Amino acid sequence: MTKTLADRSVLDPVLDRGWAMTDGRDAITKTFTFSDFTEAFAWMTRAALFAEKMDHHPEWFNVYKTVTVTLSTHDAGGLSQLDVKLADKLDGI
């Protein structure tokens, strides 16, 4: 079982890049906006490959050129280091 984050200061760089705490749960959320649907879908495809390699999958919602991503580690019951690592990857795509 993955452990939740004991040191919440590791979230500071992620929050500084536009991620926000999710209301009502121990998770972070960010909305990515692209030029069109094709660009958004291409980003999601690249993100899916990273997520699969990490065996850590995001919750996401896509409408046209926007993708809203929520990260939380379900088996830990909240945020974990996996969420920070995946947020870093998603920001880097």
1 pLDDT higher than 70: no
Nearest to 56 by CA among 67, 45, 47: 47
> Model confidence over 36-87: pLDDT tens digits?
999 999 999 999 999 999 999 999 999 999 999 999 998 888 999 999 999 9
CA–CA separation, 27 and 29 (whole Å)? 7
Domain borders along the chain are 9-92
Angle at 34 between CA 38 and CA 48, to 5 degrees: 65
C-alpha–C-alpha distance, residues 38 and 77, integer Å: 34
How much is the pLDDT for 24? Answer: 95
Q: What is the CATH architecture of 9-92?
A: 2-Layer Sandwich (3.30)
